[in-house]
């Protein structure tokens, strides 16, 4: 699980950069991150934070687009004895 904390556009073909709150981010990013994504013109990059490795992983049917997980399942995966 991660928290999506931002989304911004890559530069256009003309070289213009659209305003976004993460102006300090470098596009394309430095090595090795540049190899983990497509930073070509007119694409979007997500800023993800606080990745969580659950003590007790659980199966969950995903979906296209963004979706939320039930908070009770997250608590159970973080604290399997609870």
pLDDT of residue 24: 55
Rounded CA separation 66/4 (Å): 9
Going from N- to C-terminal start, the domains of the chain cover 1-51, 52-82
DSSP state, residue 10: P
Residues 6+ apart with CB under 8 A from 6: 20, 21, 22, 46, 47
Q: Please list the residues that pair with 45 across neighbouring strands.
A: 8
Supply the pTM of this predicted model.
0.55
27 falls in which pLDDT band (50, 70, 90)? low
> Closest by alpha carbon to 45, among 35, 37, 54, 53?
37
pLDDT of residue 56: 76
């Amino acid at each position: 699980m991660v928290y999506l904390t931002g989304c911004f556009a890559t530069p256009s073909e003309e070289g213009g950069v659209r305003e976004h709150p993460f102006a300090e981010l470098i596009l394309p990013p430095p090595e090795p991150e540049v190899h983990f994504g497509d930073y070509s013109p007119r694409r979007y990059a997500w800023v993800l934070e606080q990745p969580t490795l659950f003590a007790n992983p659980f199966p969950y049917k995903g979906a296209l687009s963004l979706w939320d997980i039930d908070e009770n399942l997250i608590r159970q995966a973080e604290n399997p004895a609870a």
